[in-house]
Amino acid sequence: MFHTALCDILNIRYPIIQGGMAWASDYRLAAAVSNAGGLGLIAAGNIPTEDLRQEIHNARKLTDKPFGVNIVPIGGVTFEERIKLIVDEGVSIVATAFSDPTKPVISELHKHPITVISVVPTVRLAKRVEKEGADIIVASGCEAGGHVGRISSLPLVPQIVDAVKVPVVATGGIGDARGFLAALALGACGIQMGTRFMASKECIIHPEVKKKLLETTDEGTEVTGEVTGSPARCIKNELTRHWLEREKKDGHLAKDELQTLGLGKLRKGLLDGDITFGTIPAGQVCGLIREIKSVEEIITGIIQGAESILVNISKLRQQKGH
């Protein structure tokens, strides 16, 4: 059993959080993760307010365990609208990667009994969100899928652990028991996984995308959008090739141009199954994923595997001559 401060704060059995991924993290995946002992998150993305309300209601029909909502500043729905819905529906856990001192999202959430999880890619942002009042900080390494920073998990996690006083969770490049234990060794009190849960039976993404996740190697992802200041890691395909060619040719690409290029591509990729011209956010951990499993199998496998690894490590320390 691995019980950390994260378990106490979120009232979960295992210190494992499921990342909030647009078009992938719906109520079914969130409920499955929560039922298996972790914390499931519904990705609000840019879905209409009433649709998100229904997602929350549906999750509650499937689980009586804690789950949360992940909110991001995209689409036509404002943070104020999201917060109002979250408060109205009594959601007690909110995750966000948003940090803007001019928009006190965390303090607004803390006007209510809500635990705030902030995802950051640097020590500087970790200090900022801690000052703003984040309850939990997720240190997101550049190995992760979707929007990423420039620092990998191995050096990032311990630096953030040393820099803040609130519990730190590691994400980016974690998909099995080895990554779980490594995160704990770096000082994290738990892990967050996105790509590994995309490759689960409960995730609603298209079967062709799940097949592609299994086929993708350690070199099968790349980062686009560097020139816009909004880089994102996705599985390599014709769309990422086109984006990178544009970036190399023009030397710059405005955010509105990038949004135009990517308009509708995320849904096209994840839900419609267009693995050639759709966007498929995924992390470098793809190379470790060899089978589509149920969420319960994934979480149980990590916990049991970690216990076995600790036994083997203990044996190494007990060898003669040491």
Return the SS3 of 197.
Answer: helix
pLDDT at site 252: 63
Return the SS3 of 272.
Answer: coil
Q: For the chain, give the number of residues.
A: 322
CA 104/CA 53 separation, integer angstroms: 23
Beta strands 232-235 and 221-224, pairing class? antiparallel
The segment(s) of the chain belonging to CATH 3.20.20.70 are 5-204
- Strand partners of residue 136: 117
Q: Take residue 20 and report the two structure tokens written for it.
A: 């909030």
pLDDT at site 66: 99
pLDDT at site 9: 99
Residue numbers of the chain with a pLDDT score lower than 70: 75, 99-102, 251-263, 320-322
**What letter does residue 15 receive in the DSSP assignment?**
S
pLDDT at site 79: 86
Which residues make Cβ contacts (< 8 Å) with residue 38, sequence separation at least 6?
A: 12, 13, 14, 16, 17, 18, 299
pLDDT digits (tens, 9 = 90+) for 12-56: 999 999 999 999 999 999 999 999 999 999 999 989 999 999 999
pLDDT at site 229: 80
Which residues make Cβ contacts (< 8 Å) with residue 236, sequence separation at least 6?
A: 220, 221, 222
Nearest to 279 by CA among 289, 292, 264: 264
pLDDT digits (tens, 9 = 90+) for 7-22: 999 999 999 999 999 9
Beta strands 136-140 and 40-43, pairing class? unpaired
φ, ψ of residue 102 to 5 degrees: the values are -80, -10
Q: Tokens 């099968």 sit at which residue? A: 220
CA distances for 273 relative to 101, 232, 280, 315, angstroms: 38, 19, 9, 46
CA distances for 67 relative to 93, 122, 171, 188, angstroms: 7, 26, 18, 21
5-204 in CATH: which number? 3.20.20.70
Q: Angle 271-151-93 (CA atoms, 0-180°, nearest 5)?
A: 55
pLDDT at site 75: 67
pLDDT at site 256: 66
Nearest to 209 by CA among 23, 33, 40: 23
